[in-house]
Amino acid sequence: MSDPQPWADPQLRAAWARGDWAVIFRRYRAVTGLTQRQLEPLVGMAQPYISNIEKGRHQVTSAEVVERITRGLEVPEELSGVARHQDDPSIWQPAVELRERIAHSQSRGRVDMSLANWIANVLGTYRRAEDNAGGVDLWPVVRSQLDAVTERLPDSSGKVADGLLTLAAEHAHWLSWVAAQEGKRGPALAWLDLAQGWAIDAGAEDLGSWVNRVRSHYALDRGDPVRALRTAELARRSANGLSPAAASVAAHQEGMAAAAVGERDRARRLSDEALDLALQAPDAEDRPGWLYWLDPVRAQLQRADRAYAVRDFSDAAAGYAQNLDQLREYPRDHAYYSARYRDARSRASSNG
């Protein structure tokens, strides 16, 4: 096999969540390097039948066949609870039992962390694959992962419980972000509330600050800059205890909110501070997992965004132009910043 852990692949997990057997087989083979013939003994099907499934000519409907495929392809246990009915509005809301599990945590006991560590690594792959695997497709997968994490909390204590709570908070934040992108504002805030509470319980200062930064972003996005600024200030309030990367994004968000209320000098000062802090953690291992993207290139692009927000369009255009080529591997981000660059350049020409 070319990949010993094929189920870490976001596209494969998203296909499993959809019950898309054609993609499941094709993607599994692509990740592992198997041929259709080599897949035969794993799923108990002849190669022609596998070929027809991959071409969409046959569907897998039998529970016995699904179980055989699940065993043969060694589908991880946290995917066994993935719901295939995504038209139910309740799927967007946090379940009551999540809070119940947290309420009964910190008991005495031993808990196997191997699955939680695996899930943490898988969540990291989701963050890095947003251009290739949609959040909506992965939604039921992440919810199932969150269940697998929180189910271990009642038997955990001390640092183990803190680690599980932090991982649960990271999942809740991810779900909030996807819900917000889908226009589900109520569920987005509900998930963010859970993430914030769990981060506080775990003593995870970086994550707690980041959640407030996201809350500020939501407020700014819906046209409430005053509330956005207030929340961004809260995100920076414990700046002395934050890592440089977490302090950087908090400063940047406060700067963007300050720009939105007309405090341009404050926004410029905070932007410079944010860049300086980001450059203190140029390597991914020096940053929290959810800030994997905050490399020097992204830090410079954030500074260009601030310049745009305070109408320093020439500086913004220069900042975008300087870093655009570094985004070729991220087509969605490249398209976004290319459009920003063209607009900033046009506005700078008009002002000149």
Q: pLDDT class for 167, splitting at 50, 70, 90? A: very high
pLDDT tens digits for 204-216?
999 999 999 999 9
Does the pLDDT value for residue 112 go beyond 80?
Answer: no
Rounded to an integer, the average pLDDT of 34-41 is 94
255 or 153: which carries more pLDDT confidence?
A: 255
Residue 114: Cβ within 10 Å count: 8
Model confidence at 87: pLDDT above 90: no
Say which amino acid occupies 47: Q
pTM, to two decimals? 0.81
The burial class, CB within 10 Å (0-12 / 13-18 / 19+), for 52 is: middle
